[in-house]
Amino acid sequence: MTLLDFARGPALSTALAVFAFGVLWRLVFLVLLPRVRDRSAPRASAPTAFAGMVRGFARHLWPRATFAGSSMFTTVNGYVMHLGLFIVFFGLAQHMLFLRGLFGVQWPNLPSGLISAVAVITLASLGLALGHRLASPVLRLISTFNDYFSWLVTTLPIVTGLLAVSHLWAPYETLLAVHLLSVALLLVWFPFGKLMHAFLVFVTRSQTGVRYSRRGVVT
């Protein structure tokens, strides 16, 4: 068995299984956590729970004016990074073929040159995010292994993917194998690190929105 056979076979299959089980496990146990019933009467002007969920999620899409100045870089760079990751993952033809094999869905892919440009911008955004964290005394103080390792496993697929499409450093088969192994590492880490926020953000912000609306918080 070659390295490429191992990467796209047992390694990726195991990583996908760990990812699916880990995400499901986190979400199920979050739903099953005991909760204290809120016995307070809602404000007369309180919207429905669904409206509160939507408002709670929407109000956190952009910082409040009071904090916009100090958090503008983090906000804008975060959008650039997340949008770039989304475009690269769902826009590349090879990724689309991979997803079609898993779920049977298909859509038009974007030009490879555009994907490469977006990947470079995304990589730069990830680098700026790390630099900002290291340069900020507060962020550096509260950062843990989880923060840095989550950054690493997010960055590696971008770097190895760019190397693979550029045919740099090693034969293409080797680069593709390394890229797939980096993706497998990301999938295994995903449910247990801070990358899980990709799912939990919808739960936490919606729950916060319901509580805000019940208490009559104006957003």
pLDDT for position 105: 80
Check whether 5 has a pLDDT greater than 90: no
Check whether 164 has a pLDDT greater than 90: no
How far is residue 143 from each of residues 63, 136, 192, 200, measured CA to CA in Å? 21, 10, 16, 20
Q: H helices within 2-46, ranges in order?
A: 3-6, 12-31
Q: Which residue has the higher pLDDT, 156 or 32?
A: 156
- Of 41-50, 83-92, 100-109, 169-178, the poorest mean pLDDT is in 41-50
- Among 166, 165, 164, 206, CA closest to 181: 164
144-176 per-residue burial string, b: 16 or more CB within 10 A, e: under 16: eeebeebbebbbbbbebbbbbbeeeeeeeebbb
What mean pLDDT do residues 3-29 have?
A: 91
- Among 86, 88, 77, CA closest to 110: 88
pLDDT for position 81: 94
What mean pLDDT do residues 133-159 have?
A: 93
Q: What mean pLDDT, rounded, does the chain reach?
A: 85
Check whether 121 has a pLDDT greater than 90: yes
Q: What is the rounded distance in angstroms from the CA atom of residue 168 to the CA atom of residue 217?
A: 55
**Can you list the domains of the chain with their CATH numbers?**
3-19+71-214 (1.20.950.20)
pLDDT for position 94: 84
pLDDT for position 16: 93
pTM of the shown model: 0.83
pLDDT for position 106: 81
Q: How confident is the model at residue 167 (pLDDT cuts 50, 70, 90)?
A: confident
Q: What tokens were used for 208?
A: 């916060």
Give tens-digit pLDDT for 28-54: 888 887 777 766 666 666 666 667 677
**What region does 171 belong to: left with phi over 0, alpha with psi -120 to 50, or beta?**
beta
